[in-house]
Amino acid sequence: MVDNPRYSQDREAALAALDLGTIDDPIVDIITAFAALPHCFTLQSCCGHFVCVPEQDPRTLDDVPLRHAGLVRYRIAYFAVCMENGRSGRALAECFRRVAAIDPDYVQFGSADWFWERWANSYALQVEPLRYMKSDEVVLQHEEALHVQHTRDLFFAELRRLAGRELNDRRGGLTRG
């Protein structure tokens, strides 16, 4: 992480622009929880979408049907965040690294150059087969789509748990800043 003298202004602008109505319903609580933390702010997110038939809405929130026999188009689940270069931000980054351990072949943690150019100390966690880690959308066989869906659900459960712990630590006076 590097010093970012614009962190406070960037966070303020991001929070002012945050429109919870544009966030996928299943992850609104996660975005809201992380927004309450002073040592980070969300840049972008997506709960991931599994499209099984051509006429299906590409932003569907439906699960992959267990009896589906065809290919599944998957738009990646991800959570991109900017963190303050301080003890709390660095500790949070380490927690995000551990989230990727849920399934290293399907969860990646890192920083995209185009995010970093605009927001220093920006990182993303994404759920996607490692071999496609630079793609926003992939086509998967049914069995792999089910695995990705399961991993995505574990991923967001872990982010939810992490956000709750961070909020509880702050309320209890256990700030790491």
Which pLDDT score is estimated for 138? 97
Boundaries of every domain in the chain: 7-171
- φ, ψ of residue 114 to 5 degrees: the values are -70, -25
CATH architecture designation of domain 7-171: 2-Layer Sandwich (3.30)
- The answer to whether the CB of 37 falls within 8 A of the CB of 170 is yes
Residue % of the chain over a pLDDT of 90: 87
Closest by Cα among 66, 69, 50, 70 to 58: 50
Long-range (24+ apart) CB contacts under 8 A made by 95-102 are 95/162, 96/123, 96/125, 96/162, 99/125, 99/155, 99/158, 99/159, 99/162, 100/125, 102/151, 102/154, 102/155, 102/158
pTM over 0.85: yes
pLDDT beyond 50 at 175: no
pLDDT in tens, 47-106: 999 999 989 999 999 999 999 989 999 999 999 999 999 999 999 999 999 999 999 999
pLDDT in tens, 149-172: 999 999 999 999 999 999 887 776
Where is average pLDDT lowest: 112-116, 135-139, 156-160? 112-116
Which pLDDT score is estimated for 168? 85
pLDDT beyond 60 at 177: no
Residue % of the chain over a pLDDT of 70: 97
Q: What's the whole-number mean pLDDT along residues 27-31?
A: 97
SS3 labels along the chain: CCCCCCHHHHHHHHHHHCCHHHCCHHHHHHHHHHHCCCCEEEEEEEEEEEECCCCCCCCCCCCCCCCCCCCEEEEEEEEEEEECCCHHHHHHHHHHHHHHHHCCCCEEEECCHHHHHHCCCEEEEEECCHHHCCCCEEEECHHHHHHHHHHHHHHHHHHHHHHHHHHHHHHCCCCCC
